[in-house]
């Protein structure tokens, strides 16, 4: 059954990605999951096939796929592994900040990095500045034609493997959010990787500290204007949040597929358990939540493609879809019973992966604050 209508070009892109993931990622996934590593060989295969950086605008040498196509691709890749899919696609979304506010030089430069196979990361979060991004302590001090960055970023997706970073630093802590400024920083400038986190899920998306110890960055790597970084980041987050939830839909679809497959072959009292009305209704409810999540995200994709404001819809869909992901994956385990609790079957991993969606890109509680604030204006 088709999940959505696909144009020929979309189908070619997605079918190619799925074929590579089936051949290259599936045999490696258990080992990468156990070791908590990003499968670089799979990345290289996808890159060689021309599937990396598809979002880069045509004027900068990319394909410039639409948000709608990108959302479909994200979902299909996440069916195999949400962590890998997220990390593979992250550089394109990090680059959005440059396309939003950067100079023509930086737009050309970040495009060349991604099209050259470089991985990216966004360094915003710190140990004492997670949801309260305005509290960051990483500093940027101008010294001649350079800025000198000092500070430690925490919980950075792709932090350990990125070739370049978009870094939020303050030019004056007393200004709070009005002092936050964004920079494009290549790892080769002396950026160090700190502690690599051992997470409960998203194992193939490596999360780490990123350390800036007197890292010198040319002034032409400043993104936009000094003190405007917080505004740029918050504007970008409104579209990034629903984008991230597309991986949750792929994960949910995998959970449902595994549950249905099991329910068709597992028999009790001489008949497959899918014929039990109580269990069949659990599966139907899972399908319902996936349908509504996917439809909501496709609506937002079309709004983004038409440059329409989301007016809080990004926060709303983040809350809804992430809650659905926890419900669907938990129900998948329930359908499989004792087997669902065992690592021999994939659904327990899906539940562990699903939990992250309610936490990163701003916790669901922060999203509720955003929505409540909009209502009180």
pLDDT band at 376 (very low <50, low <70, confident <90, very high): confident
pLDDT value at residue 150: 98
Residue 180 in contact with residue 134, Cβ under 8 Å?
A: yes
Q: What's the mean pLDDT in 22-26?
A: 97
Q: What's the CA gap between 185 and 352, in Å, rounded?
A: 32
Average pLDDT, stretch 181-204?
97
pLDDT at 1 over 70: no
Average pLDDT over residues 136-160: 97
- List the catalytic residue out of 10, 126, 258, 361: 361
pLDDT at position 4, please?
A: 67
Q: How many residues does the chain have?
A: 377
Q: Is 21 helix (H, G, I), strand (E, B) or coil?
A: helix
List beta partners, residue 152. 211
Q: Which domains does the chain have, with CATH numbers?
A: 8-115 (1.10.540.10), 120-227 (2.40.110.10), 231-376 (1.20.140.10)
Distance, CA of 339 to CA of 334 (rounded, Å):
9
Contacts of residues 35-39 at CB distance under 8 Å and 24 or more positions apart, as own/partner, are 36/196, 36/198, 36/199, 36/203, 36/204, 36/206, 37/204, 37/206, 38/84, 38/87, 38/158, 38/161, 38/204, 38/205, 38/206, 39/84, 39/204
8 Å CB contact between 150 and 214: yes
H helix or E strand, kind and range, residue 301: helix 277-305
Q: Please give the pLDDT value at position 268.
A: 87
186 is catalytic: no
Confidence of residue 130 (pLDDT cuts 50, 70, 90): low
Alpha helix positions (H), 53-103 = 67-80, 82-94, 96-101
């Amino acid at each position: 059954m088709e999940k959505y209508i696909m144009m020929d070009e979309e189908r070619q892109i997605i079918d190619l990605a799925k074929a590579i993931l089936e051949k290259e990622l599936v045999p490696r996934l258990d080992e990468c999951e156990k070791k908590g590593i990003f499968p670089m060989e799979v990345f290289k295969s996808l890159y060689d096939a021309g599937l990396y950086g598809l979002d880069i605008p045509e004027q900068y040498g990319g394909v410039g796929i639409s948000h709608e196509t990108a959302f479909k691709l994200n979902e299909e890749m996440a069916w195999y592994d949400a962590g890998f899919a997220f990390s593979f696609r992250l550089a394109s979304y990090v680059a959005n900040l440059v396309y939003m506010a950067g100079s023509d030089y930086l737009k050309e430069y970040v495009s060349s990095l991604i099209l050259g196979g470089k991985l990216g990361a966004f360094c915003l979060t710190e140990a004492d500045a997670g949801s309260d991004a305005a509290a960051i302590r990483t500093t940027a001090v101008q010294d001649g034609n350079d800025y000198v960055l000092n500070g430690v970023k925490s919980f950075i997706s792709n932090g350990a493997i990125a070739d370049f970073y978009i870094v939020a630093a303050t030019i004056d802590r007393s200004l709070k959010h009005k002092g936050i400024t964004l920079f494009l920083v290549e790892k080769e400038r002396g950026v160090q990787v700190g502690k690599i986190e051992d997470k409960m899920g998203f194992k193939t998306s490596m999360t780490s500290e990123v350390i800036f110890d007197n890292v010198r960055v040319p002034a032409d790597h400043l993104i936009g204007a000094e003190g405007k970084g917080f505004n740029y980041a918050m504007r970008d987050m409104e579209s990034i949040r629903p984008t991230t939830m597309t991986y949750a839909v792929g994960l949910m679809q995998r959970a449902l597929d595994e549950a249905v497959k099991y329910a068709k072959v597992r028999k009790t009292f001489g008949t497959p358990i899918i014929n039990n009305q109580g269990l069949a209704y659990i599966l139907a409810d899972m399908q319902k939540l996936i349908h509504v999540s996917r439809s909501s995200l496709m609506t937002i994709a079309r709004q983004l493609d038409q440059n329409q404001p989301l007016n809080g819809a990004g926060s709303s869909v983040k809350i809804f879809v992430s809650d659905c992901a926890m419900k669907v994956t938990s129900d998948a385990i329930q359908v499989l019973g004792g087997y669902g609790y065992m690592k021999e079957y994939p659904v327990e991993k899906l539940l562990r992966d699903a939990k992250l969606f309610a936490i990163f890109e701003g916790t669901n509680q922060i999203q509720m604050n955003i929505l409540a604030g909009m209502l009180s204006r």
